[in-house]
Amino acid sequence: MPAVLPLTVLGVPVDLRFTGPRTGEAYDAFAPRWALCHRDDGTTAERVVTVTLGGRDRGSNEDGTIGSDDLRLLLQLATQRVTYQAIHGNIGSLLMFHAAAVCHPETGASLVAIAPGGTGKTTVCRTLGRGRGYLSDETVGVRADNTIVPYPKPLSVRRTDWDAKDETDPRAIGLAPAPVTPYVAAILLLARDDEHTGPARLEPLDLFDAIIGMTPETSSLSRLSRPLHRLEELAAGLPIARAHYKEAATLEVFLGELIGDDR
Amino acid sequence: MSSPVRARRRPVTDQLERDGEWLLLVEDRAVRVTGLAPVILAFTDDWRTLDELVAELERAFGEAPGDNAAGLVLQALDELAGQDLIELDVP
Using CB atoms, pick whichever of A207, A208, A215 lies closest to residue B28.
A215
pLDDT tens digits, residue range A187-234? 999 999 999 999 999 999 999 999 999 999 999 999 999 999 999 999
What is the pLDDT at residue A105? 95
Give the C-alpha separation, A126 to A137, whole Å: 9
Contact A226 B15 (CB under 8 A): no
Chain B contact for A114, CB < 8 A?
A: no
CA-CA distances (angstroms) from residue A167 to A34, A81, A116, B6, B45?
A: 10, 13, 18, 56, 51
What is the pLDDT at residue A164? 76
pTM: 0.92
Q: What are the extents of the domains in chain B?
A: 8-83
What is the pLDDT at residue A65? 84
Using CB atoms, pick whichever of B15, B21, B27 lies closest to residue A222.
B27
Chain B contact for A102, CB < 8 A?
A: no
Give chain B's largest Cα–Cα span: 40
Binned at pLDDT 50, 70 and 90, residue B39 comes out as: very high
Give A-chain residues touching B33 at CB under 8 angstroms: none
- Compute the C-alpha angle A149/A151/A155, nearest 5°: 155
Counted across chains A and B, CB pairs separated by less than 8 A come out at: 42
Give the C-alpha separation, A191 to A66, whole Å: 33
Chain B contact for A218, CB < 8 A?
A: yes
CA-CA distances (angstroms) from residue A89 to A45, A86, A154?
A: 12, 5, 19
pLDDT tens digits, residue range A72-85? 999 999 999 999 99
Closest C-alpha among A232, A263, A260 to residue A110: A260
Torsion sign across C-alpha atoms B54, B55, B58, B59? negative
Question: Chain B: residue nearest A213 by CA?
Answer: B30
Give the C-alpha separation, A244 to A121, whole Å: 14
Chain B contact for A215, CB < 8 A?
A: yes
Question: Chain B: residue nearest A212 by CA?
Answer: B30
What is the pLDDT at residue B79? 95
Contact A208 B15 (CB under 8 A): no
Contact A215 B30 (CB under 8 A): yes
Contact A222 B15 (CB under 8 A): no
The CATH architecture of the domain made up of B8-83 is Orthogonal Bundle (1.10)
Burial class of residue B19, CB neighbours in 10 A (0-12, 13-18, 19+): exposed
B22 Cα to chain A: minimum distance (Å): 9
- C-beta of residue B36 within 8 angstroms of C-beta of residue B76: yes
Using DSSP's 3-state secondary structure scheme, residue A238 falls into coil
Contact B25 A221 (CB under 8 A): yes
Give the C-alpha separation, A159 to A229, whole Å: 39
- C-beta of residue A218 within 8 angstroms of C-beta of residue A144: no
Using CB atoms, pick whichever of B27, B28, B32 lies closest to residue A208.
B32
Give the C-alpha separation, A177 to A237, whole Å: 27
Whether the complex's predicted ipTM is more than 0.85 is answered with: yes
Contact A222 B23 (CB under 8 A): no
What is the pLDDT at residue A263? 57
> Percentage of residues in chain A with pLDDT exceeding 90?
87
Closest C-alpha among A174, A181, A177 to residue A109: A181
A175 has pLDDT over 70: yes
Chain B contact for A228, CB < 8 A?
A: yes
In sequence order, the β-bridge partners of residue A99 are A114
Contact B30 A229 (CB under 8 A): no
Contact B23 A227 (CB under 8 A): no
Give the C-alpha separation, B8 to B44, whole Å: 5
A262 has pLDDT over 70: no
What is the pLDDT at residue A2? 64
Reported as type and span, the H/E element at residue A133 is: strand A133-136
What is the pLDDT at residue B57? 92
A59 has pLDDT over 80: no
Q: CB-hemisphere CA count at 13 Å for B66?
A: 5
- C-beta of residue A16 within 8 angstroms of C-beta of residue A62: no
Using DSSP's 3-state secondary structure scheme, residue B34 falls into coil
Residue A147 DSSP symbol = B
- Compute the C-alpha angle B6/A226/A142, nearest 5°: 145
Contact B16 A227 (CB under 8 A): no
